[in-house]
């Protein structure tokens, strides 16, 4: 599988990668999905301390035992929670970040994290304090690089100016093209990579997209009405270009040079195999890319977001 450089770092990650949030808590099932993904050439696994209140990190840690050096592991911090209790609070403080990394390292069964990400963020956060914490962790060798996971352009712009982030994880798909309006070019100009999450638009752009749209989009999706989503899903399925609908969706987000990887989720082996159809597809050319763009409309950022 092709790999792309993460910002200006020495990390190179596979063009498609596994977001582990959807794996669930069945350890054996989750491990089989991770094993298949890694065998297919995926080398980046993305998790977070908040997923299943730490259990997801533990499952990922057990699954990668014995092959840690071949992988790039990303996790996230910023949500303060107590395992076994519902609810959490936002905490981007230096103290919490430096304590959180220790707990994640234990759960992952490793002595370093390749990519440590702030799991959210607001413009009112103590950003300098958060950045100082990440920089300290780099100096201590507990993390190799750091980034943020955010859909807020105002927050992203501040981190571009103030920090040494190598990546931004943000929702991006052919259905949600807001990053094209606000951040992709900015990040590319600053050698900061995008980890595109949700590249299948909640499954609407997958090979089972029409059924998914019928079940999950009865209230619409973003600014699209239910009827518009169904129409797009049907047209997406009908495009004949020797690619699965899922492969097209993954290739769409990877077409922009700022994007390092398309991070998909999989709760079953069937979903994983559908995403792996990307490996059999020819590279997306400009003509087909423009054809895909005509199926959707540009969506502006909500100014109050």
**Catalytically annotated residues:** 51
Residue 158, classed as helix, strand or coil, is helix
**Tokens 């987000």, residue located:** 253
Rounded CA gap, 242 and 295, in Å?
18
Q: CA quadruple 247, 249, 254, 260: dihedral positive or negative?
A: negative
Contacts for 176 with CB less than 8 Å, ≥ 6 apart: 198, 201, 222, 299
Q: What is the C-alpha separation between 167 and 305, in angstroms, rounded?
A: 21
Q: Could you give the CA distance from residue 302 to residue 222 in angstroms, rounded to a whole number?
A: 10
Helix (H) or strand (E) holding 46: strand 44-46
| Cα 234 versus chain centre, distance | 26
User: What's the CA gap between 94 and 77, in Å, rounded?
Assistant: 11
102 burial type by CB count under 10 A (0-12 exposed, 13-18 middle, 19+ buried): exposed
Instruction: Say if residues 232 and 224 touch (Cβ distance below 8 Å).
Output: yes
């Amino acid at each position: 599988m092709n790999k792309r450089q993460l910002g200006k770092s020495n990390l190179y990650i596979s063009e498609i990668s596994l977001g582990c949030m959807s794996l669930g808590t069945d350890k054996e099932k989750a491990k089989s999905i991770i094993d298949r993904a890694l065998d297919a050439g995926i080398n980046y696994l993305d998790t977070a301390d908040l997923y299943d209140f730490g259990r997801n990190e533990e499952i990922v840690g057990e699954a990668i035992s014995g092959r840690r050096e071949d992988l790039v592991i990303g996790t996230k911090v910023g949500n303060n929670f107590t395992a076994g209790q519902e609810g959490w609070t936002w905490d981007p403080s230096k103290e919490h970040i430096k304590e959180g990394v220790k707990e994640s390292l234990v759960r992952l069964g490793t002595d370093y994290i390749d990519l440590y990400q702030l799991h959210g963020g607001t413009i009112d956060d103590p950003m300098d304090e958060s950045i100082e914490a990440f920089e300290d962790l780099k100096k201590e060798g507990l993390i190799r690089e750091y980034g943020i996971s955010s859909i807020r352009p105002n927050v992203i712009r501040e981190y571009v100016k103030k920090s040494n982030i190598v990546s931004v994880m943000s929702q991006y798909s052919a259905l949600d093209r807001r990053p094209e309006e606000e951040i992709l070019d900015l990040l590319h100009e600053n050698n900061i990579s995008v980890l595109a999450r949700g590249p299948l638009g909640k499954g609407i752009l997958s090979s089972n997209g029409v059924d998914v749209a019928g079940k999950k989009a009865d209230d619409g999706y973003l600014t699209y009405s239910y009827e518009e989503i169904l129409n797009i899903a049907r047209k997406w399925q009908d495009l004949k270009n020797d690619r699965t609908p899922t492969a097209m969706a993954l290739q769409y987000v990877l077409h922009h040079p700022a994007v390092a990887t398309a991070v998909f989720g999989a709760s079953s082996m069937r979903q994983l195999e559908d995403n792996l159809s990307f490996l059999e597809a020819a590279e997306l050319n400009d003509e087909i890319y423009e054809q895909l763009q005509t199926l959707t409309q540009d969506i502006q950022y909500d100014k109050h977001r």
